[in-house]
Structure 1
């Protein structure tokens, strides 16, 4: 039975990754900050999909917790075949309103943890000659929506470079760039995007299904839905002054 380790697994896209991977026969290692929600999800997955589910409570804003999860990824006796770096959150305020501590914690969770866990996965997977890494980016990575955009821009470029580095090793790296997706994310962050029109929203199951299909095909990047692929292309080609104006709406 292949095993997937998912960070930020208790809600949103992480939870959907857990369900779809369990239904395809993967054992799971679920990582998130809230033990109760993880244990509830683990029990549901075991009952519904009859797979092995391990729970790890960890706050990836803390380097010691990141290293503890990295040790699990590197564990050769309990190999992880698929790493999903999904953990992330919005701070809900501009850079002038958040504290330096909040910003450093977010940077650690959404950039530092992705780097450390991806390296741990490479250390374990490359010698075996197989495995896959999924890093959850965002269309926000081509916008200028504060440090969140900066984090996701780093995730995209890092993953594209990692995919090139891993060529011909049997290990793949894929970044997924979702647009607005119906999860708890925007409400928790208090972002205005929660009031966007209905046609702008994607479903979590569509995003995850497209991502897993891209992983199976060995693709380095996937942007679910034609409308967000076109929007992303437009933002990449547009003058940055226009991108800054558009980004102020979110």
Structure 2
């Protein structure tokens, strides 16, 4: 991973962001949001799911518990996988495996080895060419009639040099949602359905900011004043970008024919 990614997904930062998004999550993690996403797929007992960028494992556990699917959580951050393994040892939920690896190179992606690819919010860290290459690999890893669920941060219709510069500094590669459809189509996916769910992202970030403000003393237990101010500033910037139409939280569902 890059230095930006190493820091962003270190144990300390991941657990801090989990306080803002909810247990097991690094992005919108309410059960209502999960249920709306899961409803876009035909999930049923016996299917095998690959969660790419599984983070702190929130979706992996919900998928296994609610639908009886077997889930492999793949994440490039060793700290993330470590936390999941620590927690899962004490979980009554069965059928989940966590592993550290890079989707670009992992040997997990054998041909026709999964029924579902599920990925939440990690694609923004891949360049446009990496997205094309990765979705080509994932297409091959799916069985015929395999399903895909993606959430990701995309560029909205508005223009802002400040937004572009900040996304570059954060290591995120923004593109229009329509370009995502083109990449998935070129990789061989069909039945692609795109939805703008920025409302869910905005609601989650507003709840997180409220926690930052009302539980400041708790956050200050492991943050300096400068770190706290930087975290609050980052949250305010993301809220502003979403409200101004610069940042779009995109949901896509697709199939491998």
Bigger fraction of residues in strand: 2
Bigger fraction of residues in helix: 1
Where relative contact order (Cα < 8 A, 6+ residues apart) is larger, the structure is 2
Normalised by the size of structure 2, how large is the TM-score? 0.47
Normalised by the size of structure 1, how large is the TM-score? 0.48
